[in-house]
Amino acid sequence: MGRLTLNVLLSFAQFERGVTGERIRDKIAASKKKGIWVGGVVPLGYQLKDRKLLVDEEEAKIVRLVFERYLALGSLPALQRELREQGIVTRKRLLSSGAIRGGVPLTNGPLVHLLRNRMYRGELNHRDKSYPGEHQPIIEQDLFDQVQVRLSENRRGSQLRRQPSDAPLLGKLFDDRGNKMTPSYAIKGGVRYRYYVSSVLAQGRKEETGIVSRIGSDAIESIVLDALAPMLPSEDTQRQHGQRSQTAIEEPPRPAMDSGRSRVERFVDRIILGGQSIEIRSLDGVDIAGGTNVITIPWSPASFVRKREVIQPTGAAGDARPIRAKARTKLLASIAMARRWLEQLVSGEAIDIEARAGREGLTERSMRMMLSLAFLAPDIVKAASTASLPRGFGVSRLTDLPADWTEQRRAVGLTMPS
């Protein structure tokens, strides 16, 4: 009888609790339909006063800036990078426990939430619906709609590009600062190139990447899989030694020839990519290197920057290898073109450099660099025409020469004319 009475009382208590919660939810929904603020985290751009939301002009400027710059840039990483450069961070909040939250740079998630938030249109959000609110809007309807269209277009584009990954190191590869490296690809000349890139690069935080922020998939995958092949125990070996790996115990039997990805998933915890070595750590209970769960592979990343060294003459111009025929032809044509442009500017045929650059389909900076070839010393032009100019001094090199002829000759290595 005592247990029965207790169960009856608990059932009524639970019933009252459910009814109370339902009434509170209905009251909140009814208040939001009327546009009344009922509590919660006050969004950036507003402040709470007398239980009403009022526009904070200083923070409202930041909100307008975020909307306008996203529409101009069209990219969340670019927007995030620009906001970081301007020192814009989230609002600091003091919790009841005394802890402080906020004051950190805006990342992609908070930026999308801000750009999607209809409260900046003067509405209140309730679940998947919005209702006209009592507070004043910060963003104009036209700007808000354009931003929503851009967000939707970018999301559809990313979904179309997203395909099942065939990267065997997916989820296992990290840089030396603990950032996960995710697979990506680029298409150049109809050829698809796969690579792994540090995840913080997509967040616009290039300064937080490790020593190696991007690496070709073929290079790192071949090194890791070749190193693991003779060291990883097979599933049969695991079972013969007491089935030490819980992962191997729970999995159903697999074919003898496992793919590289499945072996990495079953045995490897993480792969850390450093500037001079690759560190591979196995899961608990899996030995991959003579009784230890860590192996280190000496390695140095390949440089993809093409470096060119200009061959400096040791004495007279004749002591150096001459300029190549193709480079000489291009240089002489560029000098003739620069002189023609200069004559047009002096005679008034071209109004200014900007107008002339527009006619040629060049930027103003490129036009100015090309015009500098019209002011080369006569003996340098002669050396180019007679193929006695030292190799390495083509168009790009000669556009960087100083205006003084003596300094030009010294840079090229020509002797002063007598």
| CATH class of segment(s) 34-157 | alpha beta
Backbone angles phi, psi at 117, to 5 degrees: -70, 115
Number of helical (H) and strand (E) elements in the chain, helices listed first: 15, 13
For residue 265, give the H/E element and its range: helix 260-267
Report pLDDT for 158: 56
Helix (H) or strand (E) holding 196: strand 191-198
Is-contact 415 316, C-beta < 8 A? yes
Domain boundaries, the chain: 1-28, 34-157, 173-298, 317-412
SS3 category, 30: helix
In the chain (418 residues long), the average pLDDT of successive 10-residue segments reads 94 94 91 87 90 91 93 86 88 85 86 92 87 91 91 70 65 85 81 83 76 83 78 49 42 43 76 84 71 76 51 45 77 85 77 71 77 84 78 76 81 66
With beta carbons less than 8 A apart as the criterion, state whether 238 and 244 touch: yes
Instruction: Report d(CA 294, CA 140) in Å as an integer.
Output: 57
Pairwise CA distance, residues 150 & 288, whole Å:
49
At 363, is the secondary structure helix, strand, or coil? coil
59: region left, alpha or beta (phi > 0 left; psi from -120 to 50 alpha): alpha
The residue type of 414 is L
Closest CA to 121 of 231, 45, 65: 45
Secondary structure (DSSP) of 121-189 = GTEEEETTEEEE-SSPPSS-HHHHHHHHHHHHHHHHHHHHH------TTTTTEEETTS-BEEEEEEEET
Looking at residue 290, its pLDDT comes to 63
Query: How far from chain centre, in Å, is Cα 141?
Result: 30
Burial category of 169 from C-beta neighbours within 10 Å (exposed 0-12, middle 13-18, buried 19 and up): buried
Distance CA 227, CA 225 (A): 5
Contact present, 320 and 313 (Cβ < 8 Å)? yes
